[in-house]
Amino acid sequence: MLTLAQIALHVDGVIIGDAECKISNVSTLQAANSQQISFLANSKYKKYLPTSQAGAVIVSKEMASLVKNSAIVVDDPYIAYAKIATLLNPPKKITTGISPTAMIEAGVTILKTVSIGPQVVIEANVILADNVVIGAGTVLQDEVIVGENTRIAENVTICHGVEIGKNVVIHPGVVIGADGFGIVNDKGKWIKIPQIGGVKIGNDVEIGANTTVDRGAIEDTVIGDGVKLDNQIQVGHNVIIGNNTVIAGCSGIAGSTIIGENCIIGGGVGIGGHIEIADNVIITGMSMVTKSLTKAGIYSSGIPAEPTSQWHKNVVRYRQMDKLAARVKKLEHPDIGNITK
């Protein structure tokens, strides 16, 4: 356990209350006990402060007066919470070595500090840098390159020629470098187009469970530095995702689309192919993007859920919009012909 003073030092916070309070972990305001620290980043949760049993709470200056026990006052409670949670929950130490059940082909370059789990398959001419961790059942096909301090979890498939940077985290079930969806119709018959490009993953990237990143058709699919991809995302061939962009789960990006830097893309977003999205764009969840977004800003589409009876009424009104528009046009321009019935 750490004292509140030690924790506050880690986030440049100001202590209110008992600086020697012992903290073991983080928790929510509702569930925390006297040895846990919580946080208030959203004002709608301040109603839980009076009854919270947390030993301390991370708060902003504006909320500090509401805390009944100890607190750490910071500029951004959520960022401070993330840093404190990491401090109190450090990554599990990895034992270096190679499992006797791992299958490693000739010509592989492996440094002594790697950890390779059971049933791992590593094909010819793979290069693994310092402190790489490969989880059980993972397959690295020929000529894959993995940078230092990268952790690849269990049952991941990295296809041939993929390049992965430093400090990357790849979660279970990810597939990187499988063929993109390249087909062409020849007189009613679909013909597969060879996918001869690769995939390049930058530094400090995180890729969530069961996400798939297709290899390029000709040029490479590229994931920039600092990109964070949630679970179950599909990245099509030749897509380029700019540095520090984050994408939430179940989104899909069609081939040859370019996404700029520092973008935030919500869950379930569909992005069409062969378009460009500018830097600093935010796309809200379940939106459908079919054209390029050339300016920074927040973009949305779709209809939020509502009671079914109201939705049915709105659908009827939507179907009447053409007739309504024609009537308005007739009123504004009486010389135009009869209104279509």
Give the residue numbers annotated as catalytic, written as ranges: 237
d(CA 270, CA 285): 9
CA-based nearest residue to 228, from 244, 214, 215, 216: 244
Cα radius of gyration (the chain): 26
How are the residues of the chain apportioned to helix, strand and coil, as percentages rounded to the nearest 5? 15, 30, 55
CA-based nearest residue to 159, from 182, 180, 131: 180
Tokens 């993953």 appear where? 201
Alpha-carbon distances of 175 from 53, 138, 172, 251, rounded to whole Å: 44, 10, 9, 16
d(CA 49, CA 193): 60
CB neighbour class for 332 (10 Å; exposed up to 12, middle 13-18, buried from 19): exposed
